[in-house]
């Protein structure tokens, strides 16, 4: 878990609530996690009717939000005001709205918990509000996680729900979903449905529940490319051509582009051991062995050539100079040329 999120949640779970929370950044998972905890636990069910307000930024001005925040709670210790999509507050980036918020942050109501969920971006630190808000409020900025943090995220999610999962299963799930933590958490929940809590979640179970073919998927194709296994790569390419709806080309090309970009970067790393590549490329330790193997089979010039081939294939899949080639034919030719 993100250290800032953990610090805030640990304090909340101890029953201590601060007057203002400013939650911002590209990674919305932790923003939702913290705001949802406050929404569910700061007040009892009977207190929520009169003391909990949820507004959306696009529907409110700063004056309206602060009018809610300055009210006194009714028959409760505190009241809660949650502003979802706070980045869309109508006058947040105008002088009037910024000044109103700064004035409130300087002297917030001690009986109000104001939660500002500022998603997908951060306050402009060139302006006074951006410079001072983080100092005056309980603030956290959440960035998209690195690839090497995703497996641990899956393992932690599963452990928190009192289940266990094989490391390979966690790695495949992380690689399949990528660094969208909301979606990754949802896929974990999907895997846990109807699962025996006493049994460890296996790789086969993960692949079945999230709809990944055991033999013919992008991970097996990457493995075949790493091993330069022409026969297996051809089988997978033929399967993709026969099942284009299940295996859209553009995401596959993007996946392989990311892989060969890291292979190219790995050629510049002094320490090319698994540990060295894990640290330098910020990849999962479980995936580092793949890059060690790829370095042996794809010299720097070939890695660079493959990146160029993937760019060309991406353009063709988007209709640029594709002629009469089908998506499956483009992918088959691409795989052949990546291996050549």
Q: Tokens standing for 219?
A: 């991970």
Q: pLDDT tens digit string along 174-232?
A: 888 888 999 999 999 999 988 888 899 998 888 888 877 767 888 889 999 999 999 99
Do 60 and 136 lie in one domain? The reply is: yes
Please state, as a whole number, how many other Cβ atoms lie within 10 Å of the Cβ of residue 329. Answer: 15
Q: Identify the pLDDT of residue 270.
A: 93
Contact predicate 113/19, CB 8 Å: yes
Task: For residue 263, give the CATH number of its domain.
Answer: 1.20.272.10
Domain CATH code at residue 109: 3.40.50.300
Domains contained in the chain, number: 3
Residue showing tokens 């042996």: 296
- Which of these three, 142, 162, 178, is where a domain ends? 142
Residues 6+ apart with CB under 8 A from 53: 68, 79, 80, 81, 82
Clarify whether residues 67 and 152 are in a common domain: no
Residue that is last in its domain, among 189, 209, 229: 209
Q: From CA 294, how far away is CA 324, in angstroms rounded?
A: 33
Spatial strand order in the sheet of 52-56: 52-56, 79-84, 112-119, 20-25, 138-142
* Domain endpoint, select from 170, 188, 209: 209
Q: Report the candidate in 82, 77, 68 with the shortest Cα–Cα distance to residue 34.
A: 82
pLDDT for position 214: 67
For residues 180 and 259, membership in a common domain is answered with no
Write out pLDDT tens, residues 252-262.
899 899 999 99
Confidence (pLDDT) at 22: 98
Positions in the chain short of pLDDT 50: none
Spacing of C-alpha 150 from chain mean position: 8
- Asked if 8 and 135 sit in the same domain, the reply is yes
Domain residues for the domain of 189 are 147-209
Query: Are 172 and 196 within one domain?
Result: yes
């Amino acid at each position: 878990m993100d250290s800032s999120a953990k610090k805030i949640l640990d304090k909340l779970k101890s029953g201590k609530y601060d007057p203002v929370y400013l939650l911002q950044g590209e990674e919305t998972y932790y923003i939702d996690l913290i705001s949802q905890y406050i929404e569910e636990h700061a007040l009892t069910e009977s207190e929520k009717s009169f003391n909990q307000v949820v507004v959306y930024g696009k529907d409110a001005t700063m004056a309206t939000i602060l009018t809610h925040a300055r009210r006194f709670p009714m028959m409760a210790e505190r009241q809660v005001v949650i502003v979802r999509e706070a980045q869309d507050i109508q006058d947040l980036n105008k002088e009037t709205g910024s000044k109103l918020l700064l004035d409130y942050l300087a002297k917030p109501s001690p009986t109000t918990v104001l939660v500002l969920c500022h998603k997908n971006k951060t306050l402009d630190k060139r302006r006074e509000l951006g410079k001072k808000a983080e100092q005056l409020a309980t603030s956290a900025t959440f960035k998209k996680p690195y690839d090497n943090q995703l497996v641990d995220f899956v393992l932690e999610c599963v452990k928190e729900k009192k289940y266990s999962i094989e490391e390979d299963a966690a790695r495949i799930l992380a690689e399949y979903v990528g660094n969208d933590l909301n979606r990754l958490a949802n896929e974990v929940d999907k895997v846990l449905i109807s699962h025996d809590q006493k049994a460890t979640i296996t790789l086969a179970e993960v692949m079945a529940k999230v709809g990944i073919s055991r033999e013919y998927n992008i991970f097996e194709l990457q493995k075949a490319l790493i091993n330069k296994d022409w026969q297996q790569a051809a089988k997978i390419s033929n399967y993709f051509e026969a099942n284009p709806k299940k295996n859209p080309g553009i995401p596959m090309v993007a996946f392989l582009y990311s892989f060969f970009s890291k292979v190219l970067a790995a050629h510049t790393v002094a320490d090319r051991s698994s540990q060295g590549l894990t640290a330098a490329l910020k990849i999962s330790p479980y995936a580092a062995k793949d890059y060690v193997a790829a370095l042996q089979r794809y010299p720097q010039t070939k890695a660079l050539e493959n990146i160029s081939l993937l760019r060309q294939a991406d353009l063709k899949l988007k209709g640029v100079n594709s002629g009469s080639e089908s998506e499956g034919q483009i992918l088959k030719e691409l795989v052949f040329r990546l291996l050549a």
